[in-house]
Amino acid sequence: MKQAYVGVVVLFVVGLLTSGMFLLLSHLASAYRPSAVKAMPYESGIDPLGDTRERYSVKFYIVAMLFIVFDIETIFFLPWAVIFRDLGLFGLIEMFIFVFVLAVGLAYAWKKGALEWD
Amino acid sequence: MPSTLAQQLPDLVVGGEPVADAEASVSVQALRSRFGEAVRGVRMDPVGTPVVTIDPDRVHDALSFLKTDAAQSYDLLLDVMGADPGGDLVIQVWYQLWSMEHGRMLRLLALLPRANLSVQSVVDLYPAADWLEREVYDMYGVRFEGHPDLRRILMPENYDEGFPLRKDFPLRGRFTRSEQVRRALNRSTEDVYSREELALAGLLEGDPGADEGEAKDYLAGEKMVINMGPQHPATHGVLRLVLQLDGETIIRCIPHIGYLHTGFEKTCEYREWNQVVPYTDRMDYLAPMLYNIGYAGAVESLLGVEITPRCQVVRLIMSELNRLLGHLLWLGTGAMDVGATTVFLYTFQERERIYNLHEAYCGGRITTSVTRIGGMVADLPVGWLDACREFVNGLTATIDEAERLLTRNSIFQSRLVDVGVIDAEKALEFGLTGPNLRASGIAYDVRKARPYLGYEEYDFDVPVGVVGDAYDRYLVRIEEMRQSIRILQQALGRVPDGPINVQDPAVILPDKSEAMSSIDAMISHFKLVMEGVQVPAGDVWYSIEATKGELGFGLISDGGPKPVRCRFRGPSFVNLAALPYLVEGGLVSDVIAANASIDIVLGEIDR
Amino acid sequence: MADDRKRLPTVNAVGGDVDTGPPASWLITKVDAVVNWSRRNSLWPMPLGTACCAIEMMATAGSKYDIARFGAERFSFSPRQADLMIVAGRVTYKMAPILRRIWDQMPQPKWCISMGACASSGGMFDNYTIVQGIDQIIPVDVYVPGCPPRPESLLYGLMMIQEKIKGESLANPVHREESPDSAGKPNLPPEAIELVAQPFGNSTRQNRISGVEGSSAISRPRDRRERLLEHQD
């Protein structure tokens, strides 16, 4: 059991070291010259009008929430794909029930018009 | 047959019978009978347009009559331009009108005394006058009473050096260069936004809309005011759009132009007639020879010279080649804007082939400066026609390829169908011309309505759209490219022999060999170089069909070597004013698609 | 030597040996070589294209001239991710503060190519609205002349920027000097602006003061004024 996880740990550590190395090297080679104008939000070269802390339309939140739910569903498929053969018919039926439950949710969202922008 | 095709095709707009004398014109007689003493003068333009000088305070009534009366129905306002002859002479305002139904052109002239530079605005009759009058105000200081939003359009809003196109305004401006740079960089936020935009963002003090103590609707999102441009990949140049958004929906769109205002019209008043030609390249830099050819045609109409048959055919070939050049760029950048990057590479490859042809002819790829008054810079090189023929024969395959990629593509269709819809009546009111107007269903093409360069002898069709959406504009331009290929295939076989330039020593430089051997030729060479072409006193408003629409040239000459007024009516200037109508109510992504579909070029908008 | 063949010919304006300071250590030069190599072969241009030069810049990005061979095909329209600002086209006084703001918002290291005659000096437009050279507004590294410059010229300008980057050093950040106070200010002092913006050439024949006074000594102004008046009724 433990040997299988050594690979994961090594991958994790190498990933951390590599990204850390990139950040460190960029920091050493960079010329950091901050200024107030540089930090201003970019709006095609013009002074931005209004605050950046304005509320966004709720439509964006709806799209984001739906995305999260179905994205998590997709992630749950991945371990199933790895041990597909071991689980056999039982796993297949179980997953189909899982998909069916989420499909009912999708149908509800669709009917309610949550997928329409306007 | 699909039901949409069962409806009748609109009639092709053709010019009416030309009148020999201005007094014989139906409109002139109607104006005289209705306005009597207010009509100060009537004359004829070198291209056959009656010019009626009317009292400034009757201009609005006259235009109202001309628009609504059934026998006149001047429904397209082509141009509103100002002119300052200098000294203490009055400032002129020209109104150029066209009637679709009767095929007639008319010009109204109002002479404004310097003490009272004001005339009633005609925006309520022709929405196209909105931006056109703002430009006359910006450049001359003429106040248009009743204009809803009379502020500067090309110069910065707080510009206080004066009114640039007036003759007493020096070419380099009133302030020193360092002062101009200092002022330019010291602009504050209030200077860059108009009052309306500041009000939309709730930043104007004392504004009843600003929420102080008003119960906010917490379920509705705040409306954002953002800038799109001037530095932006999809605005096709330095165009700035201030958008008020509710989520992704556009509530208000306010275009700002003038970020490329180069002062062409002012600078050309300081150049001789032939020296203006290189300036014309730089306005519509996507199809430069069309500007060269149009300008030369305008001056030649003032001069009264008839170009040679060979020159006519060569100019026609160059016009159509440049129409292809402009449409290919539109296709490439338009497709790239909605995501189809491959088409950009294909069309630019074809444009490189046209650039090779340009370069073989005149040495320049983009800035060609290919016409001279009375002729062309040089005769065609040996083998040029064959190279052109080879190019034209190969182009159909590329257009087919681009159509295969785009026309039936569901993503492309969903980006363009029913986006930026404008119907025929609204399009006429906004003064749209060119493929934009034809896509809305009006078959108006200057090449058919008032043929020039011998277009009446060529077989070609004018495509029209049905709905007036971006997809129709796409289809119309694709078909126009195919029609241009058709014209080219005819024209390339019809180039007559003979001289390319007019054989008039007062207009065209003589051959170098003659100038070096004959004393007359040497004298005429000297006079032309030292004095320039002397164009007799007069004025003309001449137009051709450019890629973006009707390209107009308003020229005034005082008999000398330099123009008194050199107006360029860039079609994109008027077309862009319709953009808010096209995009308000749509999504942000529709702004990109609609902007690409009206095909603008900032060089001719800002001039 | 093999190394010499890869360098572009340069003109030694000083005429003689240039003092390049004390020799740097081997480690510094190697680190510099790696950093400069990676910077110059993946320049991300920010095209500030205004007019005709922008079309030639687009042609440079097309398949015939292909700026991608230099690693510069990723045109970044946001200054935050760009190294190289290519100002292609004429810049008006209305556009000048935007140009300066976008330059200020680009993070270091950054370079600037002034493409075309109008960006370099105002070009054929010596008038009330065009900035007579963007170096009055922002610091420029390479000027590419032409109206418009051919794509090959722009590529040569790009190669000159690459040469310039080759000569930089992390230990001597003179090229990376940028003071926060300089944001929004012109690049040249007012006296220098007046000096470089002096009219010359055809600009000195700006002699149409009123519509009826001519430039030619040969035709008589009075005749032309009369002709103009009798034509207008």
- Binary contact (C35, A29; C-beta < 8 A): yes
pLDDT confidence band for C11 (50 / 70 / 90): low
Calculate the dihedral angle through the C-alpha atoms of B42, B46, B49, B53, rounding to the nearest 10 degrees. Answer: -30
According to DSSP, the residues that pair with B241 across neighbouring strands are B228, B255
Q: What would the DSSP string read from start to end of B253-295?
A: EEEE--TT---HHHHHTTS-TTTTHHHHHTTSTTSHHHHHHHH
List the beta strands (DSSP E) in B217-261: 224-228, 240-246, 249-256
Identity of the residue numbered C111: W
Calculate the dihedral angle through the C-alpha atoms of A63, A64, A65, A66, rounding to the nearest 10 degrees. Answer: 50
The number of beta carbons lying within 10 Å of the beta carbon of residue B526 is: 11
Q: Which residues of C174-192 are buried (b: 16+ CB within 10 A; e: fewer)?
A: ebeebeeebbbbbbbeeee
Give the whole-angstrom CA distance, residue B190 versus residue B201.
12
* pLDDT at res. B3: 47
- Binary contact (B222, A55; C-beta < 8 A): yes
* pLDDT at res. B1: 39
Q: Kindly state the helix (H) or strand (E) to which residue B52 belongs, with its residue range.
A: strand B50-54
Can you list the domains of chain B with their CATH numbers?
Answer: 22-145 (3.30.460.80), 264-606 (1.10.645.10)
* pLDDT at res. C16: 54
With H, G, I as helix, E, B as strand and everything else as coil, classify residue B543: strand
CA-based nearest residue to C182, from C81, C108, C92: C108
List the beta strands (DSSP E) in chain A: none
* pLDDT at res. C203: 52
* pLDDT at res. B167: 85
What's this model's pTM, rounded to 2 decimal places? 0.87
The number of beta carbons lying within 10 Å of the beta carbon of residue C3 is: 6
* pLDDT at res. C219: 45
Q: Are strands B565-569 and B371-372 parallel, antiparallel or unpaired?
A: unpaired
CA-based nearest residue to B117, from B89, B81, B144, B153: B144
Q: How close are the terminal C-alpha atoms of chain C, in Å? A: 79
* Structure-block tokens of residue B496: 């007559």
* pLDDT at res. C116: 94
Chain B interface disruption, residue of C128, C147, C198, most B CBs within 10 A = C128
Q: Is the pLDDT of residue C212 over 50?
A: no
Domain ranges for chain A, please list them.
Answer: 1-28, 57-118
Q: How close are the terminal C-alpha atoms of chain B, in Å? A: 46
* pLDDT at res. C216: 43
The alpha carbon of B282 is separated from its chain's Cα centroid by a whole number of angstroms, namely 13
Report chain B residues whose CB lies below 8 A from the CB of C49: 237
Q: Render pLDDT for B308-352 as a digit per residue (tens, 0 to 9).
A: 999 999 999 999 999 999 999 999 999 999 988 899 999 999 999
- Using CB atoms, pick whichever of A46, A49, A56 lies closest to residue B203: A49
CA-based nearest residue to B518, from B507, B528, B510: B510
Q: Kindly state the helix (H) or strand (E) to which residue B321 belongs, with its residue range.
A: helix B309-337
Q: Is the pLDDT of residue B370 over 50?
A: yes
CA-based nearest residue to C102, from C77, C74, C124, C121: C77
With H, G, I as helix, E, B as strand and everything else as coil, classify residue C84: strand
Give the whole-angstrom CA distance, residue C130 versus residue B180.
10
Q: Is the pLDDT of residue B202 over 80?
A: no
Answer for the pair B219, A58: CB distance below 8 angstroms, yes or no.
Answer: yes
Among left, alpha and beta (phi > 0; psi -120 to 50; other), residue B51 is beta
| Chain B nearest C-alpha distance from C114 (Å) | 16
Among left, alpha and beta (phi > 0; psi -120 to 50; other), residue B46 is alpha
Can you list the domains of chain C with their CATH numbers?
Answer: 45-169 (3.40.50.12280)
| Chain A nearest C-alpha distance from C101 (Å) | 6
* pLDDT at res. C223: 56
Choose the most confident range, by mean pLDDT, from A105-114, B6-15, B248-257, B476-485. B476-485
Please state the φ and ψ torsions of residue B103, each to the nearest 5 degrees: 65, 40
Average pLDDT over all residues of chain B = 89
Answer for the pair B286, C55: CB distance below 8 angstroms, yes or no.
Answer: yes
Q: Is A5 near chain B, with CB under 8 Å?
A: no
- Using CB atoms, pick whichever of C31, C97, C105 lies closest to residue A38: C105
Answer for the pair B602, C50: CB distance below 8 angstroms, yes or no.
Answer: yes
Q: Render pLDDT for B397-449 as a digit per residue (tens, 0 to 9).
A: 999 999 999 999 999 999 999 999 999 999 999 999 999 999 999 999 999 99
Whether the CA torsion C64, C69, C75, C79 is positive or negative: it is negative
> Between the CA of residue A49 and those of A52, A58, A105, B242, C184, what are the distances in Å?
9, 22, 41, 10, 18
For residue C202, the chain B residue with the least C-alpha distance is B271
Instruction: Give the percent of chain B with pLDDT over 90.
Output: 61
According to DSSP, the residues that pair with B553 across neighbouring strands are B542, B568
* pLDDT at res. B208: 46
> Between the CA of residue B473 and those of A77, B460, B605, C134, C158, what are the distances in Å?
46, 18, 20, 38, 38
Instruction: Give the percent of chain B with pLDDT over 70.
Output: 95
Percent helix, strand, coil in chain B, to 5, is 40, 15, 45
* pLDDT at res. B485: 96
According to DSSP, the residues that pair with B226 across neighbouring strands are B243
Task: Count Cβ–Cβ pairs < 8 Å, chain A vs chain C.
Answer: 47
ipTM: 0.89
Q: Is C102 near chain B, with CB under 8 Å?
A: yes
Please state the φ and ψ torsions of residue C22, each to the nearest 5 degrees: -65, 145
According to DSSP, the residues that pair with B539 across neighbouring strands are B556
Q: Render pLDDT for B81-101 as a digit per residue (tens, 0 to 9).
A: 999 887 777 889 999 999 998
Q: Is A55 near chain B, with CB under 8 Å?
A: yes
| Chain C nearest C-alpha distance from A43 (Å) | 9
- Using CB atoms, pick whichever of C50, C100, C136 lies closest to residue B260: C50
Q: Is B4 near chain C, with CB under 8 Å?
A: no
- Using CB atoms, pick whichever of B192, B201, B247 lies closest to residue A59: B247
**A57-118, what's its fold?**
Methane Monooxygenase Hydroxylase; Chain G, domain 1 (1.20.58)
Q: In what order do the strands lie in the sheet with B76-83?
A: B39-44, B50-54, B104-112, B91-99, B76-83
Q: What would the DSSP string read from start to end of B494-512?
A: ----S-SS---TTTSPPPH
CA-based nearest residue to B192, from A44, C218, C29: A44
Would you give the DSSP letter of residue C147? S
Calculate the dihedral angle through the C-alpha atoms of B224, B227, B228, B231, rounding to the nearest 10 degrees. Answer: -150
Give a three-class secondary structure readout of C33-64. HHHHHHHHCCCCEEEEECCHHHHHHHHHHCCC
* pLDDT at res. C20: 58
* pLDDT at res. C89: 93
